[in-house]
Amino acid sequence: MSYIPHTDADREAMLKAIGVDSIEALFDAVPETHRFPKLDLPTPRSELEVSTELEALSMFNISAKEYAVFLGAGAYNHFSPAAVNQLLLRSEFYTAYTPYQPEVSQGTLQAIFEFQTMISRLVGMEAANASHYDGATALAEAVTMAGAIQRGRNKVVLSPGIHPQYREVVRTYHQNRPIKFSGDRGGKATLLDLIDMIDDNTMMVVVQYPNFFGQIEDLTEIAKAAQSHKALLCVVTDPVACAILKPPGAFGADIVVGEGQSLGIPMSFGGPYLGFFATLEKHVRKIAGRVIGETLDIDGKRAYTMTLRPREQDIRREKATSNICTNQGLMSLAACMHMSFLGKQGMQRVAELCWHKSHYAADEIDKLEGYSVDKGQPFIKEFVVTCPKPVAETNEHLLHHYGIIGGYDLSQDYPDRQNQMLLCVTEMNTREEIDMLVEALRTVNEEKHIHVELKA
């Protein structure tokens, strides 16, 4: 059998040592009536057969390798240096468990410590944890933390500019708790509207920066309003944009969360991703999830270890800050490597490329008849285009005639945004691709069948 090394002789010797005649005899305690059911599964296959099958199946997906992608909305097609994937395949990293034993886990521990530091600096906060499942769950945990800090308050104001799926997840997490979520219903509230909703019962205000539509809003006033009511300010952010933008911490955020997939993690049809979570030192004891700290070993050598452990489920059980047990260890490692390879200049350059390319695309599309780009606010990487036709129809045209994966259909989540498409342009999109997108949008009404030229 594939990964079981026993020979017949091994098995017999081991059964003898145990004092039974068959493996079946080891299962006497299992209710006999239910023991050893038949499994309706495929016949066992070799590595060659399985990898051939999976390769064949993968061909039924259209990938960013062959198609130009202008779709973002929370998952992004970014570059990552070849070295990241190669180092990630070092099995000292990926075949290790959670670093409960610091003496044999310094590699994982130090890398997470570096990751915590980079995230803190990027978003302008004092501390970060080792990560959450994704950006959405990090936000859900931020609400839990706000509840623990703000006992007696039960209102959370959510901006409609937060990723719609994140808002759904927050509500799933807290469905049995007496928390009132307001602000995002209807999908139209502006930051000014949100300011009016903050009161002395508000535990936290959550905004996204840049928001779901790619817009960069000034958070100064809402931060002030939150502070005046002693409400916390939580900002959902994009780590790529933070490399050049004024970071959320500079506005006075108490908690900053977000999706770190852009930092060297493949889109992989939605996961595994990387939720990051940063806060101020005064709140760290209420943080959920794993936290790595610096210390010394008995010889005085610098060492890293998991710390603030009594918050966690294995010790505190029903009083734990969360039930979270894993972090996205390998994903935080990938992000740490990615940020190290790009470094200060590379991180800033990627953000600038996203800025310039998205603006070039927006300007060109805005010139097209029937299209208009929302330029009411400064934007980066993503922007909203109102199209002459429904987005679904437009995207069909882009895909079938130009080999382009088009933008996100905003009418799915915002009913008043009919025909509005959220387009995303990153450093991966060449000028040729952008020009092709513009051409494709221009010809949306033409019954034209162009031969699709794939990238590869």
Q: Which positions from 33 through 72 interact with another protein, judged by CB under 8 A?
A: 34-37, 39-47, 50-51, 53-55, 57-66, 69, 71
The distance of closest approach from Cβ of residue 196 to another protein in the complex, given in angstroms and rounded to an integer, is: 25
Asked whether position 285 contacts another protein by CB under 8 A, the answer is: yes
Asked whether position 299 contacts another protein by CB under 8 A, the answer is: yes
Asked whether position 283 contacts another protein by CB under 8 A, the answer is: no
Choice from 352, 366, 393, 439 touching another protein (CB under 8 A): 352
Asked whether position 447 contacts another protein by CB under 8 A, the answer is: no
Asked whether position 199 contacts another protein by CB under 8 A, the answer is: no
Residue type, 217: E
Asked whether position 297 contacts another protein by CB under 8 A, the answer is: yes
Contact region for another protein (CB under 8 A) — 154-162, 188-196, 223-231, 336-344?
336-344
Choice from 154, 193, 227, 360 touching another protein (CB under 8 A): 360
Choice from 8, 152, 300, 376 touching another protein (CB under 8 A): 300
Site for another protein in 378-397 (CB under 8 A): 378, 395
Diameter of the chain measured on Cα atoms: 83
Asked whether position 455 contacts another protein by CB under 8 A, the answer is: no
Contact region for another protein (CB under 8 A) — 78-86, 191-199, 232-240, 367-375?
78-86
Residues 6+ positions from 214 with CB-CB distance below 8 Å: 358, 379, 380, 381, 382, 383, 384, 422, 424
Site for another protein in 225-244 (CB under 8 A): 242-244
Can you list the pairs that 148-153 forms with residues at least 24 positions away whose Cβ atoms lie under 8 Å? 148/286, 148/321, 149/203, 149/232, 149/283, 149/286, 150/203, 150/204, 150/230, 150/231, 150/232, 153/200, 153/201, 153/202, 153/203, 153/231
Q: Among all chains, which residue has been given the structure tokens 């064949």?
A: 56
Site for another protein in 116-175 (CB under 8 A): 116-118, 120-122, 124, 126-128, 130-131, 133-137, 144, 163, 165-166, 168-169, 171-173, 175
Residues 6+ positions from 96 with CB-CB distance below 8 Å: 105, 107, 108
Nearer CB in complex with another protein: 196/367: 367
Site for another protein in 243-272 (CB under 8 A): 243-247, 250, 259, 266-272
Q: Among all chains, which residue has been given the structure tokens 């097609």?
A: 77
How many Å apart are CA 402 and CA 237, to the nearest integer? 32
Nearer CB in complex with another protein: 273/371: 273
The distance of closest approach from Cβ of residue 288 to another protein in the complex, given in angstroms and rounded to an integer, is: 10
Q: Among all chains, which residue has been given the structure tokens 């915002």?
A: 414
DSSP-derived secondary structure letter, 283: G
Structure tokens at 294: 């610096």
End-to-end CA distance of the chain: 38
